[in-house]
Amino acid sequence: MSKSKLLFITQEMSPFLELSKISEITRQLPQAMQEKGFEIRILMPRFGNINERRNRLHEVIRLSGMNIIIDDNDNPLIIKVASIPAARMQVYFLDNEEYFQRKYVLRDKENKFYADNDERMIFFCKGALETVKKLGWAPDIIHCHGWLTSLVPAYVKTSYKDDPTFKNSKVIYSLYNNDFSETLNAGFAQKAVMNGMTEKNIETYKEGTNLALDNGALQYADGIVIGSSEVGPELLNNVKKAGKPVLDYDLTLDPENFYNFYEEITNDELVHVA
Mean pLDDT confidence for 185-199: 92
Which residues make beta-bridge pairs with 223? Answer: 172
Mean pLDDT confidence for 131-141: 96
| Position 265 pLDDT exceeds 70 | yes
Q: Identify which has the larger pLDDT, 268 or 89.
A: 89
According to the model, what pLDDT value does residue 64 have?
Answer: 87
For residue 242, give Cα distances in angstroms to 75, 236, 245. Answer: 35, 10, 9
Mean pLDDT confidence for 83-101: 91
Tens digit of each residue's pLDDT (9 = 90 or more) over 198-237:
989 999 999 999 999 999 999 999 999 999 999 999 999 9
Rounded CA-CA distance 117/108 in Å is 11
The CATH code for residues 5-38+101-266 is 3.40.50.2000
Tens digit of each residue's pLDDT (9 = 90 or more) over 157-171:
999 999 999 999 999
According to the model, what pLDDT value does residue 105 have?
Answer: 95
Q: pLDDT tier at 2 (50, 70, 90 boundaries)?
A: low
Tens digit of each residue's pLDDT (9 = 90 or more) over 40-62:
999 999 998 898 888 898 999 98
According to the model, what pLDDT value does residue 1 have?
Answer: 46
| Position 268 pLDDT exceeds 80 | no
How do the domains of the chain map onto residue ranges? 5-38+101-266
pLDDT cut 70: percent of the chain above it: 97
- Average pLDDT value for the chain: 93
pTM: 0.95
| Position 271 pLDDT exceeds 60 | no
| Position 274 pLDDT exceeds 70 | no
Type of residue numbered 233: P
| Position 144 pLDDT exceeds 70 | yes
Tens digit of each residue's pLDDT (9 = 90 or more) over 230-263:
999 999 999 999 999 999 999 999 999 999 999 9
According to the model, what pLDDT value does residue 269 have?
Answer: 47
pLDDT cut 90: percent of the chain above it: 82
